[in-house]
Amino acid sequence: MEKLKRVVSEIAYSHDFSKLSLLHRSLVPFLSFASSIYNLSLTTRHYLYFLGIFRKHRLPVPVISVGNLTWGGNGKTPMVEFLSCWFNNSGISPLILSRDFMYQGYAGGDEVKMLERHLMGTSVKVGVGANRAATASWFLDRYGYINSCTNAFFEKLLSVNKVDTDATSDKIGAAILDDGMQHVRLERDLDVVMVNGLTPWGNNQLIPFGPLREPLSALARADIVVIHHADLVPEPILMNLKRRIQDIKESLPVFFSRMVSSHFFTVHNVDTKLPLSAVHSRVVLCLSAIGSPNGFVKCVEKLGPLHVDQLHYSDHYMLQPTDYDRDREILSQLCPFDVLVLCSQLQIVPHNGSSEKRFKELLKQLLDSRSR
């Protein structure tokens, strides 16, 4: 199955099918047909919501959706963490709504566990479930919520220092919809769409033939687009990507983000904090199961290792004992070796007038104008 996923991914990001192997080309007709079926079901679903046959659910707190148009590697989860920390530090308790089925044990629920670990000790709450409206209702009933129509509710978001918490600070003030662009069942007040600057659209086809979860025209629903890994993309390519996005919706604000590495911790102790210089002038093997391994590798290369090799699995893949057995001979030559985990945070990159301050001001402005 892992090999098949890898083959499908290679097709999805290929711009010249003639250069693919016979195995790859033999799958193209099947993937193309499956993509057509997916497109039909997607269109039908949106139309049923448009007609009101499928009902949308409205929460009593502002909802910010963080989503994407392609599978994995867009910086969606780091943006959710960025927004959650911002709200928490402003004295507003946010609720993250995730549909991470893998949290139940299917594949480890890595993203949710990472968010819970990073946000431990804050007012941020994480709700997991396929029915995110029902999950939100449970949390709102348990903790209560704050009416965003109160005077200067969102003024807190632009405070320089953290607002002092009070007895009601545990009440939920906003919901952040993780991977929410395609979750049309829940009404949202703001749509933030993440785009992977390294591999934005692949072959421009819908899944499974390509990486697109919706046609590019769906960007017209966005309020803000953030191009991720902007620091790893040449300026001309970055500007062409921005122009293509604004060709779809001219008024769409476009910001840029990157991952900033902070430290390493060891797999045996998540509380350890090793400096980034720990890999300087050393041979490094980058092992990952994420949507954009190239971004990860490039970040590690910036830290000054002597040599970087890489071993990647599909997004969210759970390593099995057989995976280690496969490379047992290689690993035996490396022993003893250190197994480190790189910690990074999303940062809005200043670019042509766009900045973190402007990003936050715009979000506050949009939330203010749409608050109930």
Q: What is the mean pLDDT of residues 271-286?
A: 91
Tokens 């902007």 found at:
230
Q: Supply angle C-alpha 301, 304, 306, rounded to 5.
A: 90
Identify whether 200 is preceded by a cis peptide bond (ω within 30 of 0): no
pLDDT of residue 324: 52
User: Which of 61, 19, 268 is CA-nearest to residue 150?
Assistant: 61
**Closest to 221 (Cα-Cα) out of 248, 195, 257, 240:** 248
Burial of 150 (0-12, 13-18, 19+ CB in 10 A): exposed
Domain ranges of the chain: 2-51, 63-258+348-370, 260-345
Per-residue confidence band for 353, with pLDDT thresholds at 50, 70 and 90 = confident
| Phi–psi pair at 310, nearest 5 degrees | -145, 145
Neighbouring C-beta atoms of residue 77, cutoff 10 Å: 25
- Predicted pLDDT of residue 96: 96
Amino acid, res. 189: D
Let me know: does 347 contact 359? Beta carbons within 8 Å.
no
CATH (residue range 63-258+348-370): 3.40.50
**Could you report the per-residue pLDDT of 142-198, keeping only the tens digit for each?**
999 987 766 567 777 877 555 554 444 789 999 999 999 998 899 999 999 999 999
Whether the CB-CB separation of 11 and 20 falls below 8 Å is answered with yes
pLDDT of residue 108: 43
Highest average pLDDT, of 71-80, 133-142, 262-271, comes from 133-142
pTM: 0.87
Position 325 pLDDT exceeds 60: no
* CA gyration radius, the chain: 21
Amino acid at 10: E
Give the separation between CA 84 and CA 88, rounded to whole angstroms: 6
* Whole-Å CA distances, 55 to 49, 58, 182, 186: 6, 10, 15, 9
Q: What is the largest CA-CA distance in the chain?
A: 65
- pLDDT (tens digit, 9 = 90+) per residue, 186-230? 999 999 999 999 999 999 999 999 999 999 999 999 999 999 999
